[in-house]
């Protein structure tokens, strides 16, 4: 399985109620269409061979026999398709004569077995207990077909697994099973199923679509699985109800693809490797011992690299929806503020000291500090902003830092460190014209010394400004801007810092403050440690270390999902097509891997700071890695890519 991706689909055929021969033709047609798209797992709705709305016709042998003949036709006409197919049909148990609402599972013309519906509704417009019996744990039944090649087993407690990919195991439930207090998928997932198929016929009511969507999303999140939901639609009887074909493909709490009020295919790709990684890292997802009689059937699929159609966001830390983004920014800001406020209360600090540069990170730290001071009922003077111009400081950034402090009512201190840094160069014998790392780091460490000592003199603490992206890359001076007494931005990646500051600018109700924040947002990211050129910033971080949007993309998939570099590269090429060429992506991915490994020693002694999202690098609770870990295997993988 290339990169863990497998193309899947939910299908809603346009059927005729009780016309099994016609319905079989439509099902085969959609199977062939799906095969042409590279689909490997295809799910049809509940009872789609007959139609869900047959009513008392389900008790007629004529309909049941027609359904079995149609199923044989579907199997025969899809034997050349490399696909696992789930089709809904009524099945009669040959031993007891009882009728079951089943999913028939087909693979390359073979019937692997039937899975019966476990929870039969006894209410509403379709009182299914009038016609169908419920399957039970450990219960099995036999089916005799007109064609003995397709004799099969009805089994309520089992799953289907791929011979060539053990991680790809498929469990089945039918419509109402998902609504149950303890859905069958819960047990199936804990016994190994990574993909759950739901064959459904769920009628439409006002408000039901949102409830159904949340059920699918939440179940896939709880079980760290993929969930493919195929719903009945056009062609079902509308005597009393309407069916909308609400098809969904979900993966670990995210809807990958969705359609409604149309027939045909809903297609996307699920990532089995990603799901298995999440199950490994989540110890609350515990395996379940296989029950006696647990039944497993094997299927065959030739899974090669599949073309991607699923959405892969360029900025995975940033919600695509404006409303979600606004809510997320507010949450992050509240978490940062609460963390800093608690730290001040705990140690009895009366002052907060922030080194302000006119850049994004120190701006966010200032905004959070200002809010914490206000929530504690302290005067705005409890916030002390210190700007420390030196060789690379430009008029624009210095002015913005000063205006920001003024607008927030902070006490502003300007400490020009040029003379002290020059004295330090003399003390250590460094030539000022040598703009090496010593030249840069001496300034960063002098600034840290200044604000630390000011904080001591005021009985306050230094609020750190470094963000999550800088920590990942080690883009900080050790014991310089790397150090503080509380790092409020430690859990916020650079791409998200920009949005949080923008959110504050949009919601602060102060045109002057909003103006300076927007100008800071428009300023190139820079440590300003090299001399300016014609009054402009000469040292741009992203020219040196690479675009932060790329590094945040790499960070998300490397830490959150444990992806190998080749897979990250493939996803980055797909997400950033038209923005960066392949060579540029590969260059900065190599940089990311190299720096992530070599700079771990800086993360091993981080100051405290609040976690705000699922990706964090605190050595105390989130990322434990030896400082001497070697990146050879990861970099070697990239050497074979072009």
Catalytically active residues are 46, 117, 175
Give 273-304 as a 3 state SS string. HHHHHHHHHCCCCCCCCCCCCCEEEEECCCCC
Give the burial string for 59-72 (b: 16+ CB within 10 Å, else e): eeeebbebbbbbbb
| Whole-angstrom distance, CA of residue 52 vs CA of residue 240 | 13
**Contacts of residue 478, Cβ cutoff 8 Å, sequence gap at least 6:** 441, 601, 602
Radius of gyration of the chain (CA): 30
**Contacts of residue 228, Cβ cutoff 8 Å, sequence gap at least 6:** 8, 9, 10, 41, 43, 195, 196, 197, 198, 248, 249, 250
Cα distances (Å, whole numbers) of residue 141 to 96, 133, 135, 155: 9, 12, 9, 7
**In a 3-state reduction of DSSP, which class is residue 451?**
helix
Sheet containing 99-107: give its strands across: 140-143, 152-155, 110-116, 99-107, 84-92, 41-43, 5-12, 264-271
CA angle 47/34/41 to nearest 5° reads: 65
Q: Do 404 and 520 meet the contact criterion of CB atoms below 8 Å apart?
A: yes
| Whole-angstrom distance, CA of residue 128 vs CA of residue 134 | 10
Using alpha carbons, select from 463, 363, 357 the residue that is nearest to residue 415.
Answer: 357
| Joined tokens for residue 21 | 């021969």
The single-letter DSSP state of residue 319 is -
The single-letter DSSP state of residue 461 is E
Q: Do 11 and 30 meet the contact criterion of CB atoms below 8 Å apart?
A: yes
CB atoms within 10 A of CB 414: 13
| Whole-angstrom distance, CA of residue 252 vs CA of residue 635 | 29
| Whole-angstrom distance, CA of residue 469 vs CA of residue 475 | 8
Angle between helices 20-36 and 61-77 (to 10 degrees): 20
Q: For residue 558, is it left (φ>0), alpha (ψ between -120 and 50) or beta?
A: alpha
| Joined tokens for residue 375 | 């929530």
| Whole-angstrom distance, CA of residue 457 vs CA of residue 21 | 87
Using alpha carbons, select from 442, 531, 29 the residue that is nearest to residue 12.
Answer: 29
| Whole-angstrom distance, CA of residue 128 vs CA of residue 120 | 6
**Which helix H or strand E contains 41, and what residues bound it?**
strand 41-43
Give bridge partners of residue 231 from the DSSP assignment: 200
Q: How many residues does the chain have?
A: 642
**Which helix H or strand E contains 140, and what residues bound it?**
strand 140-143
The single-letter DSSP state of residue 475 is -
**Contacts of residue 352, Cβ cutoff 8 Å, sequence gap at least 6:** 340, 344, 369, 372, 373, 382, 383, 384, 460, 461, 463
The single-letter DSSP state of residue 241 is -
């Amino acid at each position: 399985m290339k990169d863990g991706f497998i193309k899947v689909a939910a299908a809603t055929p346009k059927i005729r109620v009780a016309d099994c021969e016609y319905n079989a033709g439509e099902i085969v047609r959609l199977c062939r269409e799906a095969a042409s798209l590279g689909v490997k797992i295809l799910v049809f709705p509940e009872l789609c061979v007959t139609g869900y709305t047959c009513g008392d016709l389900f008790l007629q042998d004529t309909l049941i026999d027609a359904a079995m003949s149609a199923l044989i036709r579907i199997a025969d006409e899809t034997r050349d398709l490399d696909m696992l197919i789930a089709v809904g049909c009524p099945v009669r148990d040959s031993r007891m004569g009882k009728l079951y609402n089943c999913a028939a599972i087909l693979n390359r013309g073979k019937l692997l077995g039937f899975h019966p519906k476990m929870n039969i509704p006894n209410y509403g417009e379709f009182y299914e207990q009038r016609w169908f019996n419920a399957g039970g744990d450990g219960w099995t039944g036999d089916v005799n077909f007109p064609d003995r090649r397709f004799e099969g087993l009805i089994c309520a407690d089992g799953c289907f697994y791929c011979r060539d990919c053990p991680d790809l195991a498929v469990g089945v439930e039918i419509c109402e099973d998902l609504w149950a207090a303890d859905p069958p998928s819960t047990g199936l997932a804990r016994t190994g199923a990574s993909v759950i198929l739901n064959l459904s016929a769920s009628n439409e009511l006002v408000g039901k679509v949102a409830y159904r969507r949340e059920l699918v999303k939440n179940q896939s999140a709880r079980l760290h699985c993929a969930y493919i939901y195929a719903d009945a639609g056009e062609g079902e009887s509308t005597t009393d109800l309407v069916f909308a074909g609400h098809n969904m493909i979900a993966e670990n709490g995210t809807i990958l693809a969705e359609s409604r009020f149309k027939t045909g295919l809903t297609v996307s790709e699920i990532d089995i490797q990603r799901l298995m990684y999440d199950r490994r890292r989540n110890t609350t997802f515990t395996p379940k011992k296989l029950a006696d009689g647990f039944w497993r059937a094997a299927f065959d699929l030739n899974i090669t690299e599949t073309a991607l159609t699923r959405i892969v966001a360029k900025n995975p830390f940033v919600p695509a929806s404006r409303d979600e983004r606004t809510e997320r920014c507010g949450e992050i800001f509240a978490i940062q503020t609460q963390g800093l406020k608690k730290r001040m209360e705990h140690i009895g600090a009366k002052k907060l000291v922030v080194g302000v540069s006119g850049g994004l990170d120190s701006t966010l730290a200032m905004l959070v500090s200002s809010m914490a001071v206000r929530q504690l009922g302290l005067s705005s003077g409890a916030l002390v902003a210190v700007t420390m111009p030196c060789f690379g400081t430009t008029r624009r950034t210095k002015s913005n830092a000063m205006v920001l402090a003024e607008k927030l009512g902070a006490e502003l201190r300007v400490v020009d460190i040029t003379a002290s840094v020059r004295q330090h160069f003399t003390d250590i014998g460094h030539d000022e014209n040598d703009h090496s790392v010593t030249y840069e780091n001496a300034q960063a460490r002098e600034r840290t010394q200044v604000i630390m000592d000011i904080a001591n003199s005021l009985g306050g603490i230094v609020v750190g400004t470094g963000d999550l992206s800088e920590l990942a890359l080690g883009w900080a001076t050790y014991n310089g801007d790397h150090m503080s007494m509380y790092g409020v931005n430690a859990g916020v990646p650079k791409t998200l810092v920009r949005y949080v500051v923008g959110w504050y600018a949009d919601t602060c109700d102060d045109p002057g403050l909003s103006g300076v924040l927007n100008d800071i947002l428009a300023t190139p990211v820079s440590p300003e440690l090299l001399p300016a050129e014609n009054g402009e910033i000469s040292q741009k971080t992203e020219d040196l270390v690479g675009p932060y949007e790329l590094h945040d993309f790499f960070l998300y998939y490397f830490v959150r999902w444990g992806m190998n570099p080749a897979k990250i590269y493939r996803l980055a090429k797909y997400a950033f097509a038209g923005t960066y060429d392949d060579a540029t992506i590969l260059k900065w991915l190599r940089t990311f891997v190299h720096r992530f490994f070599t700079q771990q020693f800086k993360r091993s002694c981080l100051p405290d700071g609040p976690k705000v999202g699922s990706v964090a690098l605190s050595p105390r609770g989130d990322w434990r890695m030896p400082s001497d870990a070697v990146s050879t295997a990861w970099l070697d993988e990239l050497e074979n890519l072009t």
